[in-house]
A and B are shown apart, each in its own frame.
Chain A
């Protein structure tokens, strides 16, 4: 028993300040610093080494993008698509994950691999592959088409997350619900669904973000008729060279809804529920 021989050192209240300094320091280093750089770039009008901050500031980059009338429209469309994709991912993934987690069936491994395959295949390949099919089905250049192609990308993660968490729901709970008079469907709704909420929230957040920022597949299937926010914004990054200033503005705009979503979720959900859901990642 190596645990008994070398007990873990426990934190005491005296350690709290150091712990806080360490954690916040790490947070500042990996998130705060890059973010600060991006913000500075978005306002900079000339920033050359060895200067630590830009030598001149301007609002031009922001003005140029924000004055774009198509932008608000694209943003609203993107939010709508992301919501739909998230909702559909949850609805499709829950029963699928249930079957994967609970029932032995023929060719289970093959089905599992099939479900996870889109994680391995680049989105570009998928989109080009389904492009022809979508043209035939008249789904190309439509919002439903974009939603469908995004689902290919988001479902594997959702199914994987949910089947991991559904697998941990003890069989006895379901049997108890059944013996207390609940039909199979009622036991799903009254027991399995509430117990899956943390995972659904965690998976939903990630799906939303993934959908909101997705470019390759949406571009191939949707552009130019269906413009999502990333498609619209990526036009500002033209091929003539990397323009840090425009790129910075684009990143910040794409980042904003993500931050908002996480903050809202953090407010709604209790910390432990959040953590238990995220822990499944």
Chain B
């Protein structure tokens, strides 16, 4: 049985649907990310798990027990907020002890759990400080420790890193993941940041307009997305309409390329920048229209006929000048998207 089992969870407001009926199973110990643009329903989903928004329908079960009718304080679900939500009038220690006192955990057990959380979150030097005396990153670690001491059935993260600067965000990502592994809990992480989702998750659930678009491991979703939405939302891609026959497709600017499954007739291809190899070629069908030097790679904008494509080049070569003619080659079989009804071409 999955640890967290959500079936048909729905939220309707007066005249809008914030979340269409949604199913989600999460296994014990998994790190799942809900990824989507703002307004996609991921926050509504999270609030319903927490118990602060009442579902219009559906069920939430943890370890088989229904919890969707319980108030937040009766669910053993802890949350790490985007704003950290530390109690400003309590010291770090007071913040950590708050939940344990509320749940009437015995004193000795409180001390043990707090000591453990303080150690794994590296907070030894700060236990007596007030939240306002801490930096953003330190406050975030306190918020995390406060959630961990509860030994929750489920740990929720609501964009916890989005208030921090890029460098700190990256290092905290690793800390967070390390903590998740060490604590061994089940985590549900909500973000609109695809880098974060890719770097941390066992599994990503992509959401849009109140629905789950698709879910899978970061690798699956990046390499072989089913929908145009996922292809575009996760990383960079060029979406191209082509005519397939067998394991090859005829590209709109001429020439053919291998595709990753056999098909016939019109297909949509999602071409990642690294799927395209460009070669300087005065007779080439395409021309460089711009480039960004990213350090590890050069990202080219390439114009092929009517189509604007993105291609990346690694190595030590200096960037090709804008305007140079190039020929395009598929570095790997190009990915064919599913034909999904209602998705605009």
Contacts and interface: CB of A to CB of B under 8 A. Distances in A.
Contacts of A179: 50-51, 72-73, 75, 77-79
A190 interface: yes
B81 A181 contact: no
Interface in A165-214: 170, 172-173, 175-183, 186, 190-191, 194-195
Contact of A173 (B71, B78, B85, B146): B85
Contact of B73 (A170, A173, A183, A194): A183
A170 B86 CA distance: 10
B126 interface: no
Majority SS at the chain B contact face: loop
Interface in B146-177: 146, 150
Given A176-B81, A178-B73, A180-B146, 9 more contacts: A172-B81, A175-B85, A176-B86, A178-B71, A178-B72, A179-B78, A180-B73, A180-B150, A182-B102
Nearest to A169: B88
Interface string B81-103: 11101111100000000110011
A61 B99 CA distance: 62
A183 B70 CA distance: 12
A176 B150 CA distance: 12
A181 B146 CA distance: 12
Contacts of B102: 177, 180-182, 186, 190
B219 to A, nearest CB: 33
Nearest to B89: A194
Candidate in B52, B81, B85, B103 with the most chain A CB atoms within 10 angstroms: B85
Contacts of B81: 172, 175-176
B83 A175 contact: no
A173 B78 CA distance: 13
Interface residues of A, number: 17
A170 B83 contact: yes
B85 A170 contact: yes
A216 B73 CA distance: 50
The 3 closest A-B pairs by CB, nearest first: A180-B99, A181-B102, A172-B85
B47 to A, nearest CB: 9
A256 to B, nearest CB: 33
B52 A177 contact: no
A182 B103 CA distance: 8
B217 to A, nearest CB: 29
A170 B163 CA distance: 16
Interface in B258-293: none
Nearest to B104: A181
Contacts of A191: 87
Contacts of A190: 98, 102
Contacts of B71: 178, 183
B237 to A, nearest CB: 36
B50 A175 contact: yes
Nearest to A178: B72
Nearest to B149: A180
Contacts of B77: 179
